[in-house]
Amino acid sequence: MGILRDRMHDDLKLKNYAPGTVEHYLRCAQVFVERFGISPLEIGEQAIREYVLALAKERSPSTVKMHVAAIRFLYVVTLRSPERVVGLHFPKVPRRLPDILSREEVWRLLEAIEPPKYRAVLMAAYGAGMRISEACSLLTTDIDSGRGVIHVRDGKRNRDRYVMLSPVLLATLRAYWKLYRPAVPILFPGERPQTCVSHKAVRLALHEGRARAGITKRVTPHCLRHAFATHLLEDGGDIRTIQALLGHGSIRSTAIYTQVSVAHVCKTPSPLDRIGRPAQVSGGGATQ
CA dist., res. 199 & res. 146, Å (int)? 29
Give me the count of residues in the chain. Answer: 288
- Coil, helix or strand at residue 165: coil
- Coil, helix or strand at residue 96: coil
* Annotated catalytic residue 119: no
β-partners of residue 196 are 189
* Annotated catalytic residue 49: no
Which of 5, 108, 203, 248 does the annotation list as catalytic?
248
218: Cβ contacts below 8 Å, ≥ 6 apart: 99
Which of 131, 199, 226, 231 does the annotation list as catalytic?
131
* Annotated catalytic residue 17: no
C-beta separation of 164 from 149 below 8 A: yes
CA dist., res. 87 & res. 45, Å (int)? 8
Which of 156, 161, 203, 264 does the annotation list as catalytic?
156
CA distances from 158 to 16, 52, 75, 224 (A): 8, 30, 25, 22
Which of 15, 35, 174, 222 does the annotation list as catalytic?
222
Which of 9, 119, 199, 225 does the annotation list as catalytic?
225
* Annotated catalytic residue 156: yes
Alpha helices, H only, the chain: 3-14, 19-36, 45-58, 61-73, 103-112, 116-128, 132-136, 167-180, 199-213, 221-234, 239-246, 251-255, 257-260, 262-267
Provide the annotated active-site residues: 131, 156, 222, 225, 248, 257
